[in-house]
Amino acid sequence: MVTMDDYKDGETEWCPGCGNFNILEAVKRSLVDLGKKPHEVLMVSGIGQSGKLPHYLKCNTFNSLHGRTLPPATGAKVANPVLTVIAVGGDGDSYGEGGNHFIHAIRRNPDITLIAHDNQIYGLTKGQASPTSELGMKTKVQTHGVLHTPFNPLAVAISLDCPFVARGFAGDVDHLSSLLSQAISHKGFSLVDVLQPCVTFNKLNTYKWYHDRVYKMEDDGHDPANRMAAFEKALEWGDRIPTGVFYKRDSEPFESKLDVLKSGPLIAKQYDSAKLDRVFENFS
């Protein structure tokens, strides 16, 4: 039986009150609820405060370059499809530096889950506006206010027919854990955008600000099979902010389409070391 202690590892370096603590708690709960053993799980991250999350979990981890979370996560899933692969990144890491990978990973549709810690600010580099910062929001760098239209990851994902699109709130661990469990269990690329207050650098989108606005779409009878309704919900932002599963559909994951995997995972295949040596010699 898998327990929370199986995933316990290390002291964190996040600011007291950071939303990342609750995301970490939700990840552990969902993995325990799903009965996933640590050796069955790979957590992949890029750079940022969000990128530290795998450091605090006792399981397989890979720390990639800034914005490059999804390529190694996809490669690992192809090499070993039995792994449960979870990618984590911030709004800057996932939608800024990694924006191109975000779009094309959805098109490719590997069976991995992306958890985007969306605090609408660059936290590791001390408070610059990110792709999801609100128009007019003032930061230490954007002292006269953000000039660019915020990136809407949910609307983009739904428009690309991403098979699972959800939004959670770090202030509601029970609901977030449920969403993560659904995302991890769903076949194909799954996006869970998490509204995560940054208590140090974002003084606008606070816990109270979100608590006054967020609501669960399942309480309003939203049907996640309705793509057009999902897109309309993705555009809703202001006095009311929806959370929950926006959209989901059945899909065939990328790795299941590869002929080379029909005889088993790549990690189980034998290889000719002499041929490999000759390949390396070409680059020496």
Q: Is the pLDDT of residue 170 over 90?
A: yes
Instruction: Determine the structural domain holding residue 217 and report its residue range.
Output: 2-253
In a domain, 284, yes or no: no
d(CA 217, CA 39): 34
Q: Is the pLDDT of residue 214 over 90?
A: yes
In a domain, 277, yes or no: no
d(CA 114, CA 179): 12
pLDDT, tens digit, 9 for 90 and up, residues 110-143? 999 999 999 999 988 889 999 999 999 999 889 9
Rg (CA), the chain: 19
Residue from 249, 247, 269 nearest 81 by CA: 269
- Look at the chain and report how many structural domains it folds into: 1
In a domain, 278, yes or no: no
pLDDT, tens digit, 9 for 90 and up, residues 7-33? 987 889 999 999 999 999 999 999 999
In a domain, 267, yes or no: no
What is the predicted pLDDT for the residue at 265? 85
Give me the CATH number covering residue 152. 3.40.50.970
